[in-house]
Chains A and B, each alone.
Chain A
Amino acid sequence: MNKIRNLSLQVKISSIYIFTNLLVVMVNIFLIIGINSMSGRLDTVYQGNRHLNNFSDAVDALQSSMTDYLNVKTSDSLENYYRSEALCRNMVADLNEKVTGRTFDRMERNIRHMSEYYLKEVASAVEAKRGRNVEKYRFHYENATKMYDYIGTYISNLNMEQFRSNSERYSELQQRFRLFEAVSVVAIVLVMCSNVCMIISFVGAVIRPMKKLAGQADEVAKGNFDIALLPVESQDEVGVVTGAFNSMVVSIGRYIERIRESMEAERALKERELLMEGHLKDARLKYLQAQINPHFLFNTLNAGAQLAMMEGADRTYEYIQKVAQFYRYNMKKSEETVTVAEEVEMVDSYIYILNVRFAGDIHYEKHIDESLLSVEMPGMILQPIVENCVNHGIREMGDRGVILLSLYEKEGVVCISVRDNGVGMSEETIEKILSGTYREADMASGGNGVGMDNVISRMKLFTGNEQVMDVKSEGRGKGTEVCLYLQK
């Protein structure tokens, strides 16, 4: 089966044509043989009659040659007699001698015996004539003639009988011939039908995979690469094409997938860049609004500091200096990457200013791992967090408010923790802050305009991680801790 399946298309198609043609030829050969045998039989039907007629003619010839000889006694007639006698004798020898159940055979046997008797009588007559025995040859002649008469009647009776039976046989043969004709027509029609069926089904079997292939190719042409692979049914030309098509579809699909992946990556990269830029712009815009005051304030503060120095008011000078430093940092560093040390310094300044402002209400503690101070991070991150702690956490606590800033490394991640012992936060608020949906009602009143969502976004953009900030609170009055996570 496999062998047949793997034959080439040419061999397959050729063999089916050869096979069907062979069938037709075979049927025709049988028909021809049948027709030949039948026509042969038809030829032999009246053979018996022909033989009998020939024999009858021979006997007639013998009788007339004998009569002729007895009449004229010429050597010509004697020669004629001998010739016809020999012919007749030969024919007599061919006649049937057996007694059978068939009337013809028995009649033929009788004719044979009578003919032998007749030949004897004829020979005796001729012999007597040659011996000039008039009485004897007349006697034998009469006997022979009587026999001749009987034989004639016998032959004609037999002829008639045979003819009757042969005619029956002939018509029977003819009927069979008709039957054979009908059978032949049926045979030819059947063979033709089966050949047509065979060719149709075979060509269908060959064409079907091609059709499938064409359908699949059409699908591919429409851009649908997500198609089932065609089964390879045979190793013929169609099978080879199907196989090639399958691998082509697979490789095109793979190629397209690869292109899509790289495009996706590129797009993500661009998107990130754009987002970062957008956030910076947003931050910068907010600061620009705030810079009008800082510049003026900064210059003013510088002038104030000089005045305080000239007047010998060192604490005032230091205070004004710190405020100026705070604003300077705000102006310069907010748009670039800074070190943790700079951010911590910024927080220090901020707390100092607040403490001067609020007469040292805030207790500020630091637990710093010095080795991590050089880690880079976006600017203006810690200050807004600390500002939030002060504004929302400990403002109402007077001198009991504590802010703890810790810098440590945990499992390879740099953690900056800002903790207060203030009012704390509900889970709901924490959730809102972390998802960036929390909007401060008094943002404009107390803050410098940088909200927690901005902080979180910039941290995410900077680190490329989602997990950049954590807010923990054990409940109302239990304080809040904000942790920032940075890569080393």
Chain B
Amino acid sequence: MQAPKKIFSGLMLLPLFLSVACVVFTVMMAGYVLWFYQGGYQEETAGDVYDRYYIMITQEGKSAFWQSVYSGACERALEENVYVDWLGSDQMQGYSVEEQMEIAIASGVDGIIVTAGENETLRELIDRAAESGIPVVTLYGDSTQSARCSFVGVGSYNLGREYGRQALKIMRERLTGVTDRPIKVTLLVNSYANSLDQNIIYSGIQEAIEQERGDAAIEVSLQSVDDTNAFSVEESVRDIFLGENVPDILICLNELNTTCAYQAVVDYNKVGSVSILGQYTSDTILNAIDRNVIYATVNIDTPQMGGFCIDALQEYHELGYTSQYFTADISLITKENVDAYLHREEPESDE
């Protein structure tokens, strides 16, 4: 009876095997469908819920400077389980600082970081925010008369003195041949914001030059740049080079001004005759230093600045008060040490 059994099992094995395969396949299908159904297909996840919600408002749009400040703030905020939105950059483009302030106040956020200035409307808005229980930190530009809880910026006077020293250094290195006329040092100031800070920087420059000029003739002047509307800065900077009174040394106080000045110097063939002292360390600026178009730039520790803003707001929420001033570190980048920054920036620019 062995042979029939064998034949039988052989005949029955194939269908059995097939049915098992079918069942396995069906189960797999079912798994796939269920996986899909249960949301294995990833929808955008809501992620964590944050304890607090701050809003950052800046005058300029997406400059690398503010981007860096914002990412510093974000990094610090995430550590504290706080979310920071940069209102002007993505959600509400095209609104003025004041309007953004209004929006932020109406949105009932937990804190506002704003690049202020000594300007009445903004002061009122800051006061209104404080009344509504929203602490405001002024960033980079202060509104001293307002009810802001803290100011995060750079030491403007020291910054000014550094610019002054650098101007004298340029004079000694590059402008020794100019004896028939006073050397013209021009500080680009924004017509809209930060007038007080700009004034402090200006006086810092003047003081440094006065102290160390010796008998050299130096004329320090302010040149206002129109930053009230988009693209006006670039036009204003170019106007300087079109006029008769082209400065020997041009001091810029933000990234945009620095970049525009650099481009203008190149375009109007003033490389060598006009030295630029800039601010911030974008790739363009660093490359310009490397090519000797910009003499030096002041690098503000922007992530630190962003982090300070969050620290100030968190401290205020927890203690009800906070330090009035936070000063971010600054460093000077010249031809001598630009290589280090260029190399450091490279991996980031790849991202």
With A37-B33, A105-B46, A183-B29 as contacts: A208 and B22 at CB distance below 8 Å = no
Asked whether any CB of chain A lies closer than 8 Å to the CB of B127, the reply is no
- Find chain B residues with CB under 8 A from A232 CB: 4
- Find chain A residues with CB under 8 A from B340 CB: none
Asked whether any CB of chain B lies closer than 8 Å to the CB of A113, the reply is yes
| Chain A, Cβ-Cβ closest to B49 | A98
Query: B25–A190 contact, CB under 8 A?
Result: yes
Contact of A153 among B32, B92, B102 (CB under 8 A): B92
With A101-B47, A106-B83, A205-B11 as contacts: A231 and B29 at CB distance below 8 Å = no
Query: A231–B11 contact, CB under 8 A?
Result: no
Query: A198–B18 contact, CB under 8 A?
Result: yes
What is the CB-to-nearest-CB distance from B53 to chain A, in angstroms, rounded to a whole number? 4
What is the CB-to-nearest-CB distance from B56 to chain A, in angstroms, rounded to a whole number? 13
Dominant SS at the A interface? Answer: helix
Chain B residue total in the interface (Cβ 8 A):
47
Question: In whole angstroms, what is the CA distance A132 to B173 when docked?
Answer: 74
Question: In whole angstroms, what is the CA distance A19 to B19 when docked?
Answer: 9
Q: Which of B30-62 contact A (CB under 8 A)?
A: 30, 32-33, 36-37, 41, 43-53
- Find chain B residues with CB under 8 A from A234 CB: 8
Query: B18–A194 contact, CB under 8 A?
Result: yes
- Find chain A residues with CB under 8 A from B319 CB: none
Contact of A99 among B1, B19, B37, B53 (CB under 8 A): B53
Contact of B52 among A26, A99, A146, A154 (CB under 8 A): A99
| Chain B, Cβ-Cβ closest to A199 | B15
Query: A102–B21 contact, CB under 8 A?
Result: no
- Find chain A residues with CB under 8 A from B19 CB: 19, 23, 194, 198
Question: In whole angstroms, what is the CA distance A147 to B85 when docked?
Answer: 19
Question: In whole angstroms, what is the CA distance A150 to B47 when docked?
Answer: 27
With A19-B19, A27-B29, A154-B91 as contacts: A37 and B36 at CB distance below 8 Å = yes
What is the CB-to-nearest-CB distance from B269 to chain A, in angstroms, rounded to a whole number? 44
Query: B46–A205 contact, CB under 8 A?
Result: no
What is the CB-to-nearest-CB distance from A248 to chain B, in angstroms, rounded to a whole number? 20
- Find chain A residues with CB under 8 A from B25 CB: 187, 190-191
Q: Which of A34-79 contact B (CB under 8 A)?
A: 34, 37-38, 41
Question: In whole angstroms, what is the CA distance A88 to B91 when docked?
Answer: 23
| Chain B, Cβ-Cβ closest to A166 | B44
Query: A106–B85 contact, CB under 8 A?
Result: yes
Asked whether any CB of chain B lies closer than 8 Å to the CB of A295, the reply is no
With A27-B29, A100-B46 as contacts: A201 and B107 at CB distance below 8 Å = no
Question: In whole angstroms, what is the CA distance A190 to B24 when docked?
Answer: 12
What is the CB-to-nearest-CB distance from A29 to chain B, in angstroms, rounded to a whole number? 9
What is the CB-to-nearest-CB distance from B326 to chain A, in angstroms, rounded to a whole number? 24
- Find chain A residues with CB under 8 A from B242 CB: none
What is the CB-to-nearest-CB distance from B179 to chain A, in angstroms, rounded to a whole number? 58
Contact of B12 among A23, A41, A205 (CB under 8 A): A205
Asked whether any CB of chain B lies closer than 8 Å to the CB of A240, the reply is no
| Chain B, Cβ-Cβ closest to A114 | B106
- Find chain A residues with CB under 8 A from B145 CB: none
- Find chain A residues with CB under 8 A from B90 CB: 103
Query: B47–A23 contact, CB under 8 A?
Result: no
- Find chain B residues with CB under 8 A from A191 CB: 22, 25-26
Question: In whole angstroms, what is the CA distance A211 to B91 when docked?
Answer: 81
Question: In whole angstroms, what is the CA distance A306 to B108 when docked?
Answer: 182
Per-position 1/0 for B76-108, Cβ under 8 A of A: 000000010100001110010001001100111
Contact of A107 among B52, B91, B106 (CB under 8 A): B91
Question: In whole angstroms, what is the CA distance A109 to B95 when docked?
Answer: 19
Asked whether any CB of chain B lies closer than 8 Å to the CB of A462, the reply is no
- Find chain B residues with CB under 8 A from A34 CB: 32-33, 36-37
What is the CB-to-nearest-CB distance from A406 to chain B, in angstroms, rounded to a whole number? 67
- Find chain B residues with CB under 8 A from A180 CB: 32, 36
Contact of B107 among A101, A113, A157 (CB under 8 A): A113
Query: B36–A38 contact, CB under 8 A?
Result: yes
Query: A150–B36 contact, CB under 8 A?
Result: no
19 pairs, CB–CB < 8 Å, chain A vs chain B: A4-B12, A23-B22, A99-B53, A100-B46, A100-B49, A100-B50, A101-B83, A102-B46, A110-B107, A110-B109, A114-B106, A116-B108, A117-B108, A150-B103, A150-B106, A154-B92, A180-B36, A190-B22, A234-B8
Return the 8 tightest CB-CB contacts between A and B, nearest first. Answer: A101-B47, A205-B11, A231-B4, A113-B108, A110-B107, A34-B33, A99-B53, A99-B50
Residues of B near any A CB (own CB < 8 A) = 1, 3-4, 7-9, 11-12, 14-15, 18-19, 21-22, 25-26, 29-30, 32-33, 36-37, 41, 43-53, 83, 85, 90-92, 95, 99, 102-103, 106-109
